[in-house]
Amino acid sequence: MSQFFSTPWTRASAVAAITLVLAACGKGQQAAAPAPAVDKPAVPAVATVDGTPISRQAYDDYLKAALRGKPVSDATVEEKNQVLDQMINMQILATVAEKDGLDKDPEVATRLTLVRTQIMADAAAQKYVKTNEPANSELHAAYDAATDKTEYHASHILVPTKEKAQALIKKLKGGAKFEDVAKAESTDNSKATGGDLGWFTTARMVKPFGDAVKALKKGEITPEPVQTQYGWHIIRLEDTRDAPFDQMKPQLANALMQKKFQAHIDDLRKTVKIEKNL
């Protein structure tokens, strides 16, 4: 994949880590946090600290959060042991905090209440998503109505300066083959295939590049170099097509679910009395 494809931000949920911290604080925090599921675990605890078990479920949840999207099966023995040591340290500190009465500190109590609210809200949201997945008919309707389902097949030449790009455009206009120039001059890893980027949607590209591609007709080359954070591009549009339904299905489902959930929140807000005092 070319280096200038934009990467959507992914958010690793900290809920597992927060849940562990709450559970580690023991019985003294039950009024402000969910009751820790550490008593009589269904499977053997991964560790005990002064008789307090750290459950396998809590460990697995925390490990997933700590790996930040990396598959648990890929975790090394060292990584697994590091995570367990972190959990043991947290349990020790949480016990000290409870003995010192820190759970009664107004600031700490406020933060515990907020964390509990966040966890419960997340649980409610996940339940809604699981029970309200878009029907296939909804997805097909969304696909038919989509205005941004065009896929583009393009090639490019990436160079570090505008002057270099302008010189290459002049060379291309003089009859040089795009593929040959890309292989000889481009700094992008697509040079091996003559600058060919394959099929993509403009949502996957940095905006200046995507906008330039949209403005081209099949077979056209950008008349002026296109600047992005990666350098200066000369782009040729090879072809366009509609992205297949199956390829767009995840993105359509996500968009539909966001709309459904926002409508659900709006309906819930109508059922409660809200007073703002900022």
Per-residue pLDDT of 198-255, as tens digits, reads 999 898 899 999 999 999 999 999 999 999 999 999 999 999 999 999 989 998 999 9
The residue type found at 206 is V
Hey, how many other C-beta atoms are within 10 angstroms of the C-beta on 80? 16
Q: At a CB cut-off of 8 Å and minimum separation 6, what does 14 contact? A: 65
Cα 130 to Cα 123: distance, rounded to the nearest angstrom = 11
Per-residue pLDDT of 48-103, as tens digits, reads 999 999 999 999 999 999 998 889 999 999 999 999 999 999 999 999 999 999 99
Cα 259 to Cα 128: distance, rounded to the nearest angstrom = 12
Supply 40's token pair: 């009589």
Q: pTM (2 decimals)?
A: 0.60
